[in-house]
Amino acid sequence: MITKNTLAVSRPLPLQGAKNVRDLGGYIGTGGVATRRGAFLRADSLGRLSEQDRQALYQYGVRCVIDLRSEQELQREPNRLKGYCDIEYENISISDGVQSSGLQGNDFPPTMADLYIGLLDSAGPSIYQVMQTALRHPRETVLFHCSAGKDRTGTVAMLLLELCGVSEEAIIADYVATEIYMKDLFASQKAQMEALGMHVPDYLLQAKPQDMARTLQHLHHRYRSAAGYLAEIGLSSEEIQALQRKLIGE
């Protein structure tokens, strides 16, 4: 049985139909206090969850799912937690121009850092909605996800962890873990796309530390911090503090 107390930091929950569902708890934040397990789960696509997986996530405490994918992605792979029991489901699309477009064409960002910086600077209204949705569930587990749990999900996870004073090293490690856990799936996806005559740069299916490091550098240079960023996109100081309490505790 999955429990909040036995999950190792950054290790995926043992699910059959998703490979990158991880708790943001267990990282050391402000004042040496660890982030709380069961506050947030970051995840890849939930379209292949088994019935056992759905039950396990519900038992874990998930009562809110924030789906960051586009309408096109939703049509390709519907969310298996939408309409399940009393879970609140919200689709708040954060377009990354890559997975959300089905990886069509060759208009790719020069680096993944460029993509993440672009998300921060242009997706403020969507990220604002994500945080407002999470605030409606101060004591329940909020799961947010995209297709691979790497880019859009990684950007939101970075903001939440930085907000709670988690070190840059730990934030980068949390991001890089996706490449480890999704390696086989990424290799399969690349082979399938190449079989269709599509050229996909290797870095699009990687999670390199330098990309998250550069994203954090941009966050600190332009917004000072995650708190500064969230204030700029419209959250009040009380709402920002409430997010911190959700993840770091009282």
pLDDT tens by residue, 149-185: 999 999 999 999 999 999 999 999 999 999 999 888 7
pLDDT tens by residue, 82-115: 999 999 999 999 975 444 434 444 567 899 999 9
Nearest 5°: the CA angle 181, 171, 107 is 70
Active site residue: 64, 85, 146, 164, which one? 146
Domains by residue range for the chain, with CATH: 22-248 (3.90.190.10)
Mean pLDDT of 19-34: 94
Mean pLDDT of 3-10: 47
Kind of pairing between the strands at 22-23 and 40-43: antiparallel
One-letter identity of residue 188:
S
Give the DSSP per-residue string, 108-149.
Answer: --SSHHHHHHHHHHH-HHHHHHHHHHHHT-SSSEEEEE-SSS
State the chain's mean pLDDT as an integer. 90
> Measured on CA atoms in the order 236, 240, 242, 243, is the torsion positive or negative?
positive
Residue 146 a catalytic site member = yes
Higher pLDDT, 67 or 250: 67
Instruction: Name the burial class of residue 144, with classes exposed (0-12), middle (13-18) and buried (19+) by CB atoms within 10 angstroms of its CB.
Output: buried
Q: Determine contact, residues 61/140, Cβ cutoff 8 Å.
A: yes
pLDDT tens by residue, 124-145: 999 999 999 999 999 999 999 9
d(CA 9, CA 22): 8
Q: Which residues of 214-225 are buried (b: 16+ CB within 10 A; e: fewer)?
A: bbbebbeeebee
